[in-house]
Chain A
Amino acid sequence: MKVLLVGNPNVGKSVVFARLTGVNVITSNYPGTTIEFIRGSMKIGKGSAELIDTPGTYSLEPRCKAEEVTAKMLDEGDIIINVVDATNLERNLYLTLELLERKIPMIVALNLWDDTKHRGIEIDVEKLEKRLGVPVVPTAAITGMGIKELVSRIPEAKAPGVHKHSDEERWADIGRTVDEVQIVRHRHHTLLERIEDASVRPLTGIPIALLILFLTFQLIVVAGEFLIGNILDPFFNGIYGPWIVGLFSEFPSDGIVYQLLIGRTTAGIPEFTESLGLLTTGLYVPLAVVLPFVLSFYLMLGLLEDIGYLPRLAVLVDNVMHRIGLHGSAIVPSLLGLGCNVPGALSTRILETKEQRFIALTLISIAVPCAAQQSMIFGILGKLGVEYILLVYGILALLYVTVGYILNKLLPGERPEILMEIPPYRRPDAGTLLKKTMMRVRGFVTGAIPYVLFGVFVANILYLSGIIDVLSSLLGPVFIVWFGIPPDAIAALLIGFLRKDVAMGMLLPLGMTAKQLVISTVILSIYFPCIATFTVMLKELGPKRMLKSAGIMLLTVFIVGGLLNIILPL
Chain B
Amino acid sequence: MEKRLAEMKEGEKGRIVRIDEHRGPLGRGKGRGFMGGRCHQRRNLQTLGIREGKTVEIHSRQPIGGPIVIKIDNMTLTLGRMMAGRIIVEVQE
B-binding residues in A (CB < 8 A): 58-59, 61-65, 68, 87-88, 90-91, 94-95, 119, 121, 167, 171, 196-197, 200-202, 311, 314-316, 318-319, 322, 327-328, 352-355, 411-414, 416-422, 424
Contacts and interface: CB of A to CB of B under 8 A. Distances in A.
Contacts of B75: 88, 91, 421
A353 B37 CA distance: 8
B37 A94 contact: no
Contact of B66 (A63, A64, A167, A318): A318
A282 B69 CA distance: 49
Contacts of A65: 34
A202 B60 contact: yes
Given A171-B51, A319-B65, A417-B82, A354 B31 contact: yes
A305 B67 CA distance: 21
B31 A413 contact: yes
Interface size class of B (residues with CB under 8 A): 35 or more
A200 B33 contact: no
Contacts of A59: 43, 47
A90 B83 contact: no
B33 A422 contact: no
Given A315-B62, A417-B82, 18 more contacts: A58-B44, A59-B47, A63-B40, A91-B47, A167-B43, A196-B76, A200-B76, A202-B60, A315-B67, A319-B63, A319-B64, A353-B34, A354-B34, A414-B38, A419-B77, A419-B80, A421-B48, A422-B69
B31 A322 contact: no
A94 B66 CA distance: 29
B43 A421 contact: no
A535 to B, nearest CB: 22
B80 A418 contact: yes
Contacts of B79: 417-419
Contacts of B62: 202, 315-316, 318-319
Given A318-B67, A417-B83, A352 B33 contact: yes
Contacts of A63: 34-35, 37, 40, 44
Contacts of B51: 171
Interface string B50-88: 010000000110111111010001111111111100000
Contacts of A95: 47
A9 B45 CA distance: 15
A419 B48 contact: yes
11 contacts: A197-B59, A316-B62, A322-B65, A322-B80, A328-B78, A354-B34, A412-B30, A414-B32, A417-B82, A422-B69, A422-B78
A197 B59 CA distance: 8
B83 A419 contact: yes
A164 B38 CA distance: 24
Nearest to A120: B74
Contacts of B73: 88, 90-91
Contacts of A413: 30-33
A413 B64 CA distance: 23
Q: Which 5 A-B pairs have the closest CB atoms?
A: A413-B31, A417-B80, A319-B66, A353-B33, A91-B49
Contacts of A414: 31-33, 37-38
A119 B73 CA distance: 11
Contacts of B34: 62-65, 68, 352-354
Contacts of B47: 58-59, 91, 94-95
A334 B59 CA distance: 27
A166 to B, nearest CB: 11
A421 B76 contact: yes
Contacts of A328: 67, 78
A327 B79 CA distance: 10
Contacts of B78: 311, 314-315, 318, 328, 418-420, 422
Contact of B44 (A68, A318, A353, A419): A419
Contacts of A88: 49, 73-75
